Amino acid sequence: MKVCGTLTPAGLSDCNARLKAAIAMIISVKGTSYTEAELATLTKTKSNVSLAAGIVSVYLPLSGFTLTTDAPEIVKSPAGTKGVYDDQIPSGTAFLDRSFEDYQTLWNANNSVVEVEFITKDGKRVMTEVGNGTFKGFRAEIYAEVGIPKADVPLEAHPIHIFFKDVNEFLNMTAKPMAFSHTAIEDVMPIGLSLSATGAYTGGSIATKATKRGTNVGKAGLMTWVILDSNVSTPAVTATDSGFGVYSLAVTKSTVPEALVAGDYVTVQGHLLASTFATYITEPLTIWGA
């Protein structure tokens, strides 16, 4: 049942500043939040999108955003009076303004529950306040459509459906003016690389190639390789950089080392670091034993 409100006089602004369209959004893992001071500088945002110790946020430029919230349900009594007694939970569709390869990487996150915040054309960061001076994105479930993109409508080719979870978060919605531009956030995002196997897994190793996403240009210099997932107890990965984006990955199920066998798998990701921040990062590659 909707809680009744009380009409409270609050004056009227003499500035007709309307909220402008969303041109980007930041998707973060659950629980990611900022204080007022942390929003005033780029430091924590940079850490969240690129810190080598653990990336928890992704910046996504948008070509458009459409609200898909259901209309309020109007209830009519037998006497003919009408009213609205429940709030519809908001939903929307955002359109990614990047390559199809970038869009494909979002499929791995389908049905994930995350925090979503928006950046508007006039440089505001739209979030919800969760406490005195603490802010976060709106809790939501996201879904990127798996399949052939809508090539006939290029700006809407990469839809991301957003289903928000808590209408009360919108009661505490705030649009915080940013002290930096949205491109400053984009500039500290790691550059995405495609990672593919160019040979079979044999003798405990596999040949791979890392290329700049959407191109066939190889990227050498990936010094850090991490294991994202595995079904073996003590997986390990080491890399030999052969130049031009070609790497031989030694992937084993233990540090002995012992090669993967049929049914074993290890999912790896390559990073290029500058200080403690990732400047280049590959998409995950799952390697199966033979």
User: For residue 241, what is the domain's CATH number?
Assistant: 2.60.40
157 belongs to a structural domain: yes
Q: What is the pLDDT of residues 210-261, one digit of tens each?
A: 999 989 999 999 999 999 999 999 999 999 999 999 999 999 998 788 999 9
| Span 182-210, average pLDDT | 97
Q: Are residues 211 and 269 in the same domain?
A: yes
* 205-212 vs 224-230, strand pairing mode: unpaired
10 belongs to a structural domain: no
Q: Helix, strand, or coil here: 49?
A: helix
Which pLDDT belongs to residue 162? 98
Residue 160 has pLDDT above 60, yes or no: yes
Domain boundary pick from 173, 188, 203: 188
Q: Are residues 174 and 199 in the same domain?
A: no
6 belongs to a structural domain: no
Quote the number of domains for the chain. 2
230 belongs to a structural domain: yes
3 belongs to a structural domain: no
Domain boundary pick from 188, 210, 240: 188
Buried-exposed string 57-90: b where 16+ CB fall within 10 A, e elsewhere? bbbbbbeebeeeeeeeeeeeeeeeeeeeeeeebb
Which residue has better confidence, 2 or 286? 286
Residue 150 has pLDDT above 90, yes or no: no
Residue 138 has pLDDT above 80, yes or no: yes
Which pLDDT belongs to residue 252? 95
Q: Are residues 77 and 112 in the same domain?
A: yes
C-alpha–C-alpha distance, residues 184 and 180, integer Å: 7
Which pLDDT belongs to residue 2? 60
| Span 159-173, average pLDDT | 97
Q: Are residues 200 and 251 in the same domain?
A: yes
Measured between alpha carbons, how far is residue 75 from residues 72, 81, 83, 85 in Å? Answer: 9, 8, 5, 8
What pTM, to 2 d.p., does this model score?
0.91
> Among all chains, which residue has been given the structure tokens 């955003």?
65
Domain that holds residue 228: 191-288
Q: Helix, strand, or coil here: 38?
A: helix
Q: Residue 144 in contact with residue 158, Cβ under 8 Å?
A: yes
Domain boundary pick from 158, 188, 218: 188
